[in-house]
Amino acid sequence: MTDIDDNARLTLVGPGKPMGKLMRCYWMPILMSWELAEADAPPVRVRLLGEDLVAFRATDGSIGLLDEYCPHRRASLFLGRNEENGLRCVYHGWKFNTEGQCVHQMNEPNSFADKVRTTSYPTAEIGGVVWAYLGPSDKKPPLPKFDWTQVPAAQRTVTKVVQECNWLQALEGGLDSSHFSILHRALRDNPLQEGLEPKKWAIALNGPTRLELEPTDYGYRYFGIRSGKDNSVYVRGYHFVMPFTQLRPPGPGRKQVHGHFWVPMDDHNTMVWNFYADYEGNPLTEKDEEALAGRGNNYGSHVDPKDGFKSIRNRSNDWLIDRAMQKTETFTGIDGVNQQDRAVQESMGLIVDRSKERLGPSDRAVVATRRLLREATEALEKNETPRGVDATYYDLLPAEGVFKQDEDWHAKLIAAMYPKKERDVTM
Ligand code: FES
Ligand SMILES: [Fe+2]
């Protein structure tokens, strides 16, 4: 059972907090590339780990990420002018390059620009995503080249939505696979609902899920095991990559990677990233394209990019729960799988009081995650390198399958989950 101090250790992400320091060991996704589509386009606000930042694409195409507030007298650089390779504050005309160096001052006849620097963080663009590193410059980890970021752009998509609660309960909700066939259950076949369709997922509905979890150097892998018809077993193999990434199989019959990043904006808000990549060469569908452009229902999230990627379904309107739909259509009466997840996680409050929980064996992934995160904060305090900082996760893939009772599903899934290199499967 965790105490409240332990909860603070695991949840609070500001500078100087144990988890804040840990988060600053990793690259973080901050924007989709299309949000900074053109050189010299308007800057974009970024809220990350409790810091207010502003991102801009300079004339040469590079991306700067600066403290939002001008170091002169703290006007917001969001109002700034994105000029020739620099962002200029509109108050007194100080201009900063992507490294945060002041390069011009309009109000100072005897310029001291060379002595002024603002906070800036390194960025990288990989897989249609802009990433940032907020940690010490001498500890910058290898670039975050997840396997899905390396497939052709036409075969991958990324979307995001704000979740109004602490990042850890959002992460835990994603790693907890035992809710899958309950929370997301459809009560009858209905193509209009995004909940699970009973026919297609009948195998998933047959009894509870058993979890097997194996720690790795990047976090852990785990298997959700369900009994199927005729003594078969349906096993889904996932990866958890420190500190907030999940790679999950897409469901029967597809060769894709699905996954999430649960990125802390601050202690009470999380940017939930959804990504998928197709490994059979299939281009995106119209629906995918819509999601990619941030339009449409974004897999049912109903977000508006102009409103900071907030969902219209939120705590203030009870996620638009429809009680008639709950009686006949879906288990929750809330439209969309991702919204169902977000609703239950937000419903716990901004930071759940973990001292009041009553956990069981099916919460194994949740418990393991907390233990890994706690260990990682402690490792950092001892000047050790936390799990997942080194690039041991590049080639990971999720995998799943239906197996006969006596089949060695573990060996088969491991081969599919580590397709590019041999690994010590017992670590
Ligand atoms: S506040 Fe930015 S230049 Fe003065
Ligand atoms: Fe879920």
pTM, 2 dp: 0.92
Mutate which of 69, 72, 81, 95 to test ligand 1's pocket (most atoms within 8 Å of Cβ)?
72
The answer to whether 318 and 326 have CB atoms below 8 angstroms apart is no
Q: Are residues 185 and 322 in the same domain?
A: yes
The H or E element containing residue 415 is helix 409-417
Task: Say how many Å lie between the CA of residue 89 and the centre of ligand 1.
Answer: 6
**Which of 66, 67, 69, 73 to mutate for ligand 1's pocket (most ligand atoms within 8 Å of CB)?**
73
In a domain, 5, yes or no: no
For residue range 226-285, list pLDDT tens digits in order.
887 778 898 999 999 999 999 999 877 778 899 999 999 999 999 999 998 988 877 777
Other CB atoms closer than 10 Å to residue 405's CB: what's the count? 11
* C-alpha span between 133 and 63 (Å, rounded): 13
CA nearest 89: which of 110, 111, 104, 108?
104
Asked if residue 396 is part of any domain, the answer here is yes
Residue 404: CB within 6 Å of ligand 1? no
Query: Is the CB of residue 70 below 6 angstroms from any atom belonging to ligand 1?
Result: yes
Instruction: Please compute Rg for the chain using Cα positions.
Output: 23
69 CA to centre of ligand 1 in angstroms: 9
Same domain, 203 and 87: no
**Residue 105 vs residues 42, 43, 68, 87: alpha-carbon distances, Å:** 20, 19, 18, 12
Sequence-separated (6 or more) residues with CB below 8 Å from residue 6: 354, 374
**Residue 80 belongs to some domain of the structure:** yes
Q: Ligand 2 centroid to 326 CA: how many Å?
A: 17
Q: Considering 103, 119, 139, which residue would you say is the last residue of a domain?
A: 139
- What the block records as the tokens of 93 is 């005309």
* pLDDT tens-digit series, residues 379-397: 999 999 999 998 789 999 9
CATH of the domain at 274: 3.90.380.10
Q: Which residues pair with 157 in a beta bridge?
A: 276
Does residue 94 line the site of ligand 1, with CB under 6 A?
yes
Residues 90 and 205 in one domain: no
91 lines ligand 1 (CB under 6 A): yes
The residue among 119, 139, 159 that closes a domain is 139
Pair (268, 397) in one structural domain: yes
Whether residues 161 and 122 share a domain: the answer is: no
Residues 54 and 152 in one domain: no
Ligand nearest to the CA of 343: 2
Burial of 124 (0-12, 13-18, 19+ CB in 10 A): middle
Residue 59 Cα to ligand 1 midpoint, Å, equals 22
Peptide bond preceding 243 in cis form (omega within 30 of 0): yes
In this structure, the answer to whether residues 193 and 154 fall within a common structural domain is yes
Q: Residues 259, 324: one domain?
A: yes
Which domain, by its residues, includes 212?
Answer: 147-417
User: CATH code at 129?
Assistant: 2.102.10.10
pLDDT in tens, 57-67: 999 999 999 99
